[in-house]
Structure 1
Amino acid sequence: MQDQTLDFETSVFDKEYITLGDRREAIVRGGRHLFERLPQAFDGVRQIGVIGWGPQGSAQAQNLRDSLGNTVRVTVGLREGSSSMQEARAAGFCEQDGTLGEMYEVIAASDMVLLLIADSALATLYEQVFAALRPGTTLGLSHGFLLGHLSQIGAGFPTDVDVIAVCPKGMGASVRALYVQGADVNGAGINASFAVHQDRTGHATDRALGWSVALGAPYTFQTTLHSEYLSDLSGERAVLLAGVHGIVESLYRRYRDQGLSEHDAFRHSAESVTGPISSLISKSGLDGLYRSLDADGREVFADAYSAAYPVGLELTHEIYDEVRSGNEISGVVMAGRRLARFPMGKIDDATMWQVGQKVRADRVPSEIPLDPFTAGVFCGVMMAQVDTLIEFGHPYSEIANESVIEAVDSLNPYMHARGVAYMVDNCSTTARLGARKWAPRFDYLLTQQAYPAIDSKEPVDRTSFDAFEGHVLHDVLRVCAELRPSVDIYVG
């Protein structure tokens, strides 16, 4: 079980409490009106070094630069000769004004270092990074992977620096897109969690909150670095990525077997999940999606949910065990050593994903079906992840964001625009490895256990659905929806 005794003090931002179910959590609401407080939050920080130009590094460097203006210099640090140098220059960072440089030089010169390189690189390079940090500086992470790796090998962070985390609950492209799209809408952006792992300067909390506000987070909630990596790694291996991948592949085959054309099978599976189902959950929650169905649709939803939930619960528990045991972290580190020889292939040449390209090209949004069977399967697996994280004591804000909000407000809209296969082939290495490992498990168990239970002559056991309508998640999502920005992400 995780420790639920979380609270924080800030001298810069306005802390408030929200009630989620039977718990009270402290948060900070974001907004561009708070940018004027950022110099105070970063008091003593003359330079923030953003190390890495992956999806998070590029998005966060640009958001921070745009929010901070001339008050704090934001400098990007990359490996000597990195192919990303030109991309950073194109975004306005350059060597001549000191906003682009070699990573270790940037680390040594920065008062706050945001380490946003790939997880496998973190495992390889952390000693050199730590050696380059000056005492009294702040080390920032956007993922708890490094803590998990250090714990496994019996190492730790330097004791003379702050260690904080700000973890946006969305992919890097969403972090940048919503910030830009919401330029005229106060509070538009991606939610984030924050954690203070070490506070040696006494400024760690305000710097973490300032970082989150500067990224454009509509609201920032508290977690621990340990809790974050358990929920984040588990979530992307479950419903956020691997789960949705396995769900739609299993449904596509099922609908084809039932006689639907390739085009219609894709519309009733992947298009339905990433389109109307995700949109309804985003605005109205899982219970709102269920209530939107007619009487016959609710019966179909209930049976599909009841059959899919046990599969989701079993697999999410297994995934969680693999993450907290260190097996998933070890697997990522070992894969990092193999990838030069055995690079990951793409999945988008498979028939289903080729069909998907044609479907998206001919898409009429108003004609995408809200399939109640698809909705029930998706929500059953999603709620199973929620219940797993509740059982292991994670904060409700973290559970809602890692299981629902990140999916329907960040990841699924990208999948809707470009395809589930695109997401699986273009996300972080850690997530791509997880999707390839766990998606087949969701696919197989749904196909082998959930769907036969529905197709048998016996009534489906609805025990799991009996808890659905009164579930605490619905109240949690309603409160979170009040903090949601009015801007929906647009993916061109």
Structure 2
Amino acid sequence: MAKLNFGGVEENVVTRDEFPLAKAQEVLKDEVVAVIGYGVQGPGQALNQKENGVNVIVGQRKNSKSWDKAVSDGFVPGETLFDIEEALQRGTIICYLLSDAAQIQLWPTVKKHLTPGKALYFSHGFGITYNEQTGIVPPKDVDVFLVAPKGSGTSLRRMFLQGRGLNSSYAIFQDATGRAYERVVALGIAIGSGYLFETDFRKEVFSDLTGERGTLMGAIQGIFAAQYQVLRSKGHSPSESFNETVEELTQSLMPLVAENGMDWMYANCSTTAQRGALDWWKKFRDATLPVFTDLYESVAAGKEAAKSIESNSKPDYREKLEVELAELRDSEMWRAGKTVRSLRPENQEPAAEENQEAFVEAVI
């Protein structure tokens, strides 16, 4: 384990140099890793482990879309693809990658297969941290840990195929065997992490829920919508409004920020943009700080978990979700976005000029 210094604050991290794939393969050589759930994180983690030489099987309901997807991805029924109970029985490490609501429902089945010496692996601290609401309390004689990739399963898989790695956090909740550390780090390397940084279950879920509701999804959509609305109300076209609000950020600026940092971006933009950004960023910080404080306190108090469990467990959840998603999808801003994306050079068809002429008609 290495220590990195972040502005005077030291953190424990594990890199692929100090814990190479060969070491991970050695640690996991006698394990059967059972990936339960083949939805958001399951495919990326299972496929990356498989291609990294780990003995991985998938547990999924038969005659489901996820079962069919696992088959199409190369998992073989009766060999590396089983119904959930059989996979639980065969696995020595149970990767519990169902949704939070589904984890609650399946927990009694999972628990009975957690025999001494096995390991229970999460990619989210939700079930353990909020166990008074979820009922997920593991037996004392199994290892319990998590590896949480800092991105979607799709990104984890894409970066793996590109020879890159998606950074992940790791945490140990329970070390029953004395091998929890080497098991969790080996799994973190096997799923394709760039490097692993240490956390605990509570901090992981608190930061994750705050981030999802904040700058990763909730806040960014709110800021996009506000700026787009102002530009449109002042007479700017849908194309101009969307490009200045979303397209330039996501396609041009954020990749450069990811590579070099925001300080580099400020130093290398036009002097007009530089002056404006320096003058306005603290105003946005001060305006949103109370909202983020309220958000974090709601997460820490368990209120966000309660809302998620209550909402996601209702039988009509999917129908209500579709209504809310349609509000985003059918908004002028994201209809404009669909058209703008179609006009990117890599997506253009021969009739792109007709598409451009029809732009206003398509989004208004």
Which of 174, 177, 182 is equivalent to 1:201?
A: 177
Superimposed CA distance per residue, residues 182-234 of structure 1 (whole angstroms, 9 cap, x where no aligned partner): 2xxxxx11001111110001111111111111112121111101110000111
**Counterpart of 1:194 in 2: which secondary structure?**
strand
For residues 74 and 17 of structure 2, what CA distance do their matches in structure 1 show?
24
**Counterpart of 2:316 in 1: which secondary structure?**
coil
Q: CA deviation at 1:298?
A: 2.1
- 1:75-114 → structure 2 map (5 Å cutoff): 75-96=57-78, 98-114=79-95
Which of 140, 155, 160 is equivalent to 1:174?
A: 155
For residues 316 and 65 of structure 2, what CA distance do their matches in structure 1 show?
16
Q: Which residue of 1 aligns with 2:42?
A: 57
Unaligned runs of 5+ in 1: 1-14, 183-187, 366-492
Q: Which residue of 1 aligns with 2:98?
A: 117
Q: CA deviation at 1:322?
A: 1.0
For residues 299 and 110 of structure 1, what CA distance do their matches in structure 2 show?
58
Q: How many pairs are equivalent? A: 341
- Report if the CA contact (8 A) 1:189-1:215 is conserved: no
Unaligned runs of 5+ in 2: 347-364
Residues 321/206 of structure 1: CA separation in 2 closer, same or farther (3 Å cut): same
The structure with higher relative contact order (CA 8 Å, sep 6+) is 1
Runs of 4+ in 1 over 3 A off after TM superposition: 151-155
Question: Which residue identity is paired with 1:87?
Answer: K
**Counterpart of 1:338 in 2: which secondary structure?**
coil
For residues 309 and 156 of structure 2, what CA distance do their matches in structure 1 show?
26
Instruction: Answer yes or no: is 1:27 the counterpart of 2:10.
Output: no
Q: Which residue of 2 aligns with 1:343?
A: 320
Residues 92/51 of structure 1: CA separation in 2 closer, same or farther (3 Å cut): same
- Report if the CA contact (8 A) 2:128-2:136 is conserved: no
Question: Which residue identity is paired with 1:83?
Answer: K
- Report if the CA contact (8 A) 1:41-1:210 is conserved: yes
**Counterpart of 1:245 in 2: which secondary structure?**
helix
Q: CA deviation at 1:33?
A: 9.0
- Report if the CA contact (8 A) 2:107-2:136 is conserved: no
Q: CA deviation at 1:152?
A: 4.0
Q: CA deviation at 1:123?
A: 2.1
Q: Which residue of 2 aligns with 1:190?
A: 166
Q: Which residue of 2 aligns with 1:226?
A: 202
- Report if the CA contact (8 A) 2:104-2:134 is conserved: no
Q: Which residue of 2 aligns with 1:320?
A: 296
User: Over aligned residues, Cα RMSD in angstroms?
Assistant: 1.9
Which of 220, 238, 252 is equivalent to 1:244?
A: 220
| Greater mean alpha carbon deviation, residues 140-149 or residues 288-297 | 288-297
TM-score, with structure 1 as normaliser: 0.66
Residues 36/292 of structure 1: CA separation in 2 closer, same or farther (3 Å cut): same
- Report if the CA contact (8 A) 1:190-1:218 is conserved: yes
Superimposed CA distance per residue, residues 135-177 of structure 1 (whole angstroms, 9 cap, x where no aligned partner): 2100000000101330446762221110010010111100000
For residues 265 and 33 of structure 1, what CA distance do their matches in structure 2 show?
47
- Report if the CA contact (8 A) 2:13-2:196 is conserved: yes
Which of 124, 138, 143 is equivalent to 1:157?
A: 138
Question: Which residue identity is paired with 2:321?
Answer: M
For residues 339 and 187 of structure 2, what CA distance do their matches in structure 1 show?
41
Tell me the percent identity. 30
For residues 246 and 273 of structure 1, what CA distance do their matches in structure 2 show?
15
